[in-house]
Amino acid sequence: MSAAIVGVGAALPERVVPNAHFDRIGASSEWIVKRTGIEERRFMEPDGRLADLVVAAAEQALRSSGVAGQRIRHVVVATITPDRVTPGVSVEVAARLGMPQAAAFDLHAACAGFVYGLDHAAALIETGRAEAVLVCGADALTRITDHEDRGTAVLLADGAGAVVVADVPGTPRPVFSLGSDGRQIPLLHADRDERKLRMDGREIFTHAVEKMAAATREVLARTELTCEDLDLFVAHQANARIVRAVGKELGVPPERLYLNVQRVANTSAASIPLALTHAREEGRLGDSGLLGVAAFGAGITWGAGVIGWRPALAPAPAPEPGGVAR
């Protein structure tokens, strides 16, 4: 059995926040674009619920996959900003999608969470313990942003993305490399009492490029592939400079390096599935292909992987109100 991504979906809050919003804290639009590549981002309303975004992204992913909801027995939501202390977002999402008996859990690995979730899904499928797995990445980073700190406030935003991973005979076996280094917690963290993200930007830049590039090289070596074999490389959209630096370090052809950070900013665990969905809408994924993914986050955590992309052979039936098609 070999796992591949067969459907993608995304959801963003309605509120668009341009760079001009940060003039009040001394961050001009020119300064933000030069340092980060970001032009705008989306913010949830104060009473908004992350679960709503996840459900919308998941419904789109399921429709695009052609996989009936009843085949999903595992739901993974990577997030660090759930709506409740407990239970997690995943159990609500599973119930609202009409999958109340599915195993569901939230995964906390910061911006690397989605890649961790992909690895978990692939393992379930390859061992025959699941037919299809729904993997979501979602965060409302504005909940833990210090909106007066221009070093972080201009970077962070909200969003959700989802993919369906299923057994697709004949696709290359996915391979992942994951890691962490808790000794570096002070570089990027949010403490229990303050609940605001604090970051050493210079050090994080260096570690992010180094770790994502190294993990990707390891994966490519294990698969005996090169970047030329990848149809698209999608790194965590933390900052355009970081993504481009990773691409340059690896020798990824510019036309195969995907960027959408300019319109969504850093959405943490939602970053890669959002990018995959936008790439699909833009025709960048094609009818089939091989994807490279890499991410880096607080912890510090990181991961990279190579996984096949095989879109649905036929669209799924339209979902019933409040659920997915069965």
Rounded Cα gap, residues 96 and 4, in angstroms: 25
* 136 tagged catalytic: no
Phi then psi for 209, rounded to 5 degrees? -65, -45
Rounded Cα gap, residues 136 and 294, in angstroms: 16
CA dihedral 166, 167, 170, 171 (to 10 degrees): 40
Helix (H, G, I), strand (E, B) or coil at 109: coil
Residues 6+ apart with CB under 8 A from 291: 5, 230, 231, 232, 233, 234, 276, 285, 306, 307, 308, 309
* 239 tagged catalytic: no
CB 178 within 8 A of CB 283: no
Look-up of token digits 């570690």: 207
Q: Which of 236, 239, 260, 278 is catalytic?
A: 236
Rounded Cα gap, residues 219 and 127, in angstroms: 20
Q: Which of 19, 21, 111, 239 is catalytic?
A: 111
Q: Which of 19, 239, 260, 266 is catalytic?
A: 266
Helix (H, G, I), strand (E, B) or coil at 138: strand
**Residues designated catalytic:** 111, 236, 266
